[in-house]
Amino acid sequence: MRNASYVWRRASRAVRSSGIIPPRRYNHKMTPRDLTFVLGGARSGKSAHAERLASDSALPVTYIATARLTNDAEFNARIAHHRERRPAHWGLVEADDDLAGALAQHDEPGRCLLIDCLTLWLANLLCPADGSAPPLSHYYAQAAAFDAALAGAHGKIIVVSNEIGLGVVPLGEATRLYVDELGRLNQRVASLSSEATLMVAGLPLALKSASRA
């Protein structure tokens, strides 16, 4: 993985120097981060829990969706179910690869952004529906930009992701790469978060709280 680490460092430096994340006119030291990370397995209740947190914030909410419609009718039905469950007055942004750009564009004090979910965003980057194999450097650059956007956020941010690393080491190089990169992504988001919650059978387990961050 030495080569991957090298590419990641290069991507991080490129993001910092490229202006991808626009400069802020805020004093970061005077603005505490309000970032909640919600993760869990399939059908653990993580999305519903994240939506409740967003509603309870009493702030204007913008939902940043990473799922994309496909030729899979069952998957499209899942997307429709999520849409029907969300309040109609919430804003909606359908993010492409540039999740950092979507976050930076809509983030502002006094607003809540709900990103659901990192799992599908990573899948779109590493396993595009057209079967192409984009270079890993593209993913590392997008992920580094997202890290920077989270670190510089000033609104209330809620991020949803899957925990898929509790089973056996998967077969196949591509699958192992996906599991490894999602695990690393989850770790970075958790380290930036003021609160982190693991959902199990619809029950929230606090991993990190603002008082103990």
Question: What is the rounded average pLDDT of the residues 63-83?
Answer: 70
Q: Is the pLDDT of residue 147 over 90?
A: yes
Interatomic CA distance for residues 147 and 9, integer angstroms: 13
Structure confidence at residue 23 (pLDDT): 41
Residues 185, 157: Cα–Cα separation, whole Å: 16
Cα 108 to Cα 53, 77, 140, 141, distances in angstroms: 18, 32, 25, 23
CA–CA distance, 39 with 193 (Å, rounded to integer): 12
Per-residue model confidence as pLDDT tens digits over 81-119: 667 678 899 999 999 999 999 999 999 999 999 999 999
So what's the pLDDT on residue 21? 46
Q: Which residue blocks in 32-98 are alpha helix, DSSP H?
A: 46-56, 73-85
Query: What is the per-residue pLDDT across 28-42, written as a single tens digit (0 to 9) for each?
Result: 444 468 999 999 999
> 82 catalytic, yes or no?
yes
Torsion angle, alpha carbons of 81, 86, 92, 95, to 10: -50
pLDDT tens per residue, range 166-203: 988 888 888 999 999 999 999 999 999 999 999 999 99
The CATH number for 2-16+29-208, chosen from 1.20.1560.10, 3.90.650.10, 3.40.50.300, 3.40.50.1220, is 3.40.50.300
Find out whether 179 and 164 touch, Cβ atoms under 8 Å. Answer: yes
What's the pLDDT at 212? 52
Tokens standing for 6? 């090298």
Identified catalytic residue from 81, 82, 106, 154: 82
Range scoring the smallest mean pLDDT among 41-50, 90-99, 126-135: 126-135
The whole-model pTM stands at: 0.82
- Tokens describing residue 145: 């930009």
Listed by start position, the domains of the chain span 2-16+29-208
